[in-house]
């Protein structure tokens, strides 16, 4: 087959860094394959993706050894713009990459630069609008649409230019499960029908593991190309079904729900855990309605959350999850209704603290440790406890690092630590697992459980059904700003087609985590 991307002995260090971000990488990818880049947070995936179109080293500087050829062109000799007809790149935060204002113009931008014939361009834009289901957004401003919509626009804009290889950095991290399925299916179609090569980094392996042809596993800057099953086994990570396979000692580990079902056999429905009821009511929301200007975001929500509860807020992009969190913490004024935390109007950062979706907005200190200390100082708490929070979230080794030098997932953990350190009893997290590898996710789960066990409340908005299945004691589903389901995770997620976690899909109602299933099979 025709080779489209080749790395030959590539070693790269960022400027002023001792550690090799990429360490002697040798691999070749054939045209028309769907390749997954996988590995722990900060292992070099993003650097690898950016090296594929020459952004590394043309825009980063640093020391670069070896050779990358894409579509036969050496990236050292061709700057990224001279590779734009061969390779297109969708960065982790699509909003920062938009050049023009209107969605439609944004889709055409790459083609304009390549000098595509206007009549062809016109048709191509229409096709992309349909392929990613964004036709209704065509005239809107890219700054006025939701995060999930932006991600789809960025993907459409990259695909529109008709590259031979499409490189995407966590393309589903901001999408709801349905939107993610849609994007992965669209990518798969490009690979199958048009022979395009797709290379993507993703942590939520349950969303892609069954669709890709090959995987590149990353560990401390080194990379290995192989079958998805091999790579996942070597890295000891993978979707929940793979985790189950490891717990149960299956070989090979399953990668899809179908394989897991075949290997595990049938299980009876699992009875709901008899947990003791929640403690005293901590958060009390009555008749809450909130809006952005004239656009209603939350309608008539009633919710009581007791001490020790961990609540997952779920629902599609734009369902009102973020607005509800912002209203609970006290920075968004409700139109009607009230929020009370332990009987009083919440004071932001004191009664409830919220880690926002964009962690960069809160990071300003020179070191990770200082970032946490600042919160403690502002809240008048003992600064010596900073180390404990870092430890609990597994980022103590990063204490002396500059927050902005870290990977996206690591920055999110630092922001979470900085917010949680203030000691507010109600801890709110907006999309807390974007860019997190499974190990970091496990630590976050333990951290939330610890917070709840000490009489706190955790409420998080997420698209990550596996996170909800693993840690939530209760799931609240929102649609159009209203609560449409509220209850035990087994019940709420179990009878949803879209939101069911892998274990429920494989083994039926009530089964949420690989640990539960492995226990029953043993």
Partner 1 sequence: MTLHPAAWMAWATCAGVVAFTTTDPFYLGVLVAIAWFVYATCRVPGPTARSFRVFAIGGLMAMAIRTALVFLGTVDASNVAFAALEGARLATLLIVFGTFNAVTDPFGVVRLAPRRFHEPALAAALALSIAPRTIATAGRVREAQQLRGIRTARWRGLPSLAVPVLESGMEEAVTLAESMDARGHGRGRRTRYRPAHWTPAGVAVVVAASAAAGVFLAAAWVGLGGLHPSTSPLTWPEATPWLIGVLLLLALPGIFGAFRDPVA
Tell me the CB-side half-sphere exposure of residue 169, using CA atoms within 13 A. 25
Per-residue CA distances from 212 to 34, 205, 256, 377 (Å): 5, 10, 11, 48
- SS3 for 332-398 is CCCCEEEEEECCECCCECCCEEEECCCHHHHCCCCCHHHHHHHHHHHCCCCHHHHHHHHHHCCCHHH
Q: What string marks each residue from 72 to 91 as x (binds partner 1 by CB under 8 A) or -?
A: -------xxxxxxx--xx-x
151 makes contact with partner 1 (CB under 8 A): no
Going by the DSSP 8-state scheme, the letter that residue 94 receives in this structure is: G
Residues forming beta bridges with residue 479, ordered by sequence position: 482
Comparing CB distances to partner 1, the nearer of 207 and 326 is 326
Which region among 67-75, 95-103, 170-178, 204-212 touches partner 1 (by CB under 8 A)? Answer: 95-103
Instruction: Say if residue 448 is exposed, middle or buried (CB neighbours under 10 Å; 0-12, 13-18, 19+).
Output: buried
457 makes contact with partner 1 (CB under 8 A): no
**Is-contact 41 437, C-beta < 8 A?**
yes
Which region among 28-36, 139-147, 182-190, 201-209 touches partner 1 (by CB under 8 A)? Answer: 139-147
CB of 239 to partner 1, least distance (A): 30
170 makes contact with partner 1 (CB under 8 A): no
Residue whose C-alpha is closest to residue 283's, from 332, 327, 336, 335: 327
Q: Which residue among 77, 122, 344, 454 contacts partner 1 (CB under 8 A)?
A: 122
Q: What string marks each residue from 53 to 72 as x (binds partner 1 by CB under 8 A) or -?
A: x-x--xx-------------
Tokens encoding 82: 């001279």
Placement of tokens 């200082």 in the chain: 370
Comparing CB distances to partner 1, the nearer of 372 and 517 is 372
310 makes contact with partner 1 (CB under 8 A): no
369 makes contact with partner 1 (CB under 8 A): no
Per rule CB under 8 A, count of chain residues that contact partner 1 = 70
Tell me the CB-side half-sphere exposure of residue 110, using CA atoms within 13 A. 29
115 makes contact with partner 1 (CB under 8 A): yes
12 makes contact with partner 1 (CB under 8 A): no
Tokens encoding 10: 């590539």
Q: Which residue among 329, 368, 389, 452 contacts partner 1 (CB under 8 A)?
A: 329
Which residue ranges make up the site for partner 1 (CB under 8 A)? 53, 55, 58-59, 79-85, 88-89, 91, 93, 96-102, 104-105, 108-118, 121-122, 125, 140-141, 143-144, 157-158, 161, 329, 331, 348-350, 353-356, 358, 360-364, 374-375, 378-379, 404, 418-419, 421-422, 424
């Amino acid at each position: 087959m025709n080779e489209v991307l080749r790395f030959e002995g590539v070693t790269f260090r960022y400027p002023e860094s001792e550690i090799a971000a990429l360490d002697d990488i040798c691999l070749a990818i054939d045209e028309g394959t769907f390749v997954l880049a996988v590995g722990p947070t900060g292992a070099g995936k993003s650097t690898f993706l950016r090296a594929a179109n020459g952004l590394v080293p043309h825009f980063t500087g640093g020391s670069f050894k070896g050779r990358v050829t894409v579509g036969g062109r050496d990236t050292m000799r061709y700057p990224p713009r001279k590779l734009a007809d061969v390779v297109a790149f969708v960065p982790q935060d699509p909003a920062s990459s938009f050049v023009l204002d209107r969605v439609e113009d944004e889709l055409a931008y790459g083609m304009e630069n390549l000098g595509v014939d206007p009549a062809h361009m016109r048709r191509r834009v229409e096709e992309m609008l349909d392929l990613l289901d964004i036709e209704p957004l065509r005239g809107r401003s890219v700054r006025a649409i939701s995060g999930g919509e932006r991600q789809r626009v960025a993907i459409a804009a990259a695909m529109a230019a008709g590259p031979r290889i499409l490189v995407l950095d966590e393309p589903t991290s901001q999408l709801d499960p349905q939107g993610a399925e849609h994007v992965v299916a669209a990518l798969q179609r490009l690979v199958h029908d048009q022979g395009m090569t797709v290379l993507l980094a993703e942590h939520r392996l349950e969303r892609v593991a069954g669709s890709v042809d090959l995987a590149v596993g990353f560990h401390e800057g080194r990379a290995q190309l192989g079958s998805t099953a091999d790579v996942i086994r070597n890295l000891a990570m993978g979707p929940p079904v793979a985790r189950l396979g490891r717990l149960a000692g299956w070989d090979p580990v399953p990668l899809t729900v179908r394989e897991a079902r075949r290997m595990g056999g049938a299980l009876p429905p699992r009875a709901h855990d008899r947990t003791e009821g929640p403690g005293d009511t901590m958060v009390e929301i009555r008749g809450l309605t909130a809006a952005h200007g004239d656009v209603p975001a939350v309608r008539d929500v009633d919710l009581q959350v007791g001490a020790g509860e961990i609540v997952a807020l779920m629902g599609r992009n734009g369902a009102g999850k973020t607005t509800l969190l912002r209203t609970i913490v006290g920075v968004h004024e409700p139109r009607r209704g009230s929020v009370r935390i332990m009987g009083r109007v919440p004071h932001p950062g004191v009664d409830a603290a919220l880690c926002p979706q964009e962690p960069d907005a809160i990071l300003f200190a020179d070191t990770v440790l200082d970032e946490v200390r600042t919160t403690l100082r502002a809240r008048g708490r003992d600064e010596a406890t900073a180390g404990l929070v870092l430890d609990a979230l597994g980022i103590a080794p990063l204490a002396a690092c500059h927050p902005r030098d870290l990977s996206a997932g690591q920055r999110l953990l630092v922001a979470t630590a900085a917010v949680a350190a203030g000691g507010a009893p109600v801890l709110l997290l907006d999309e807390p697992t974007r860019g997190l590898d499974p190990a970091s996710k496990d630590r976050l789960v333990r951290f939330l459980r610890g917070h709840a066990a000490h009489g706190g409340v955790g409420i998080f908005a997420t698209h990550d059904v596996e996170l909800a299945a693993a840690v939530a004691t209760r799931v609240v589903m929102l649609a159009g700003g209203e609560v449409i389901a509220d209850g035990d995770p087994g019940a709420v997620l179990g009878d949803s087609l879209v939101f069911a976690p892998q274990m429920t899909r494989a083994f039926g109602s009530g089964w949420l985590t690989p640990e539960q299933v492995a226990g029953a099979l043993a």
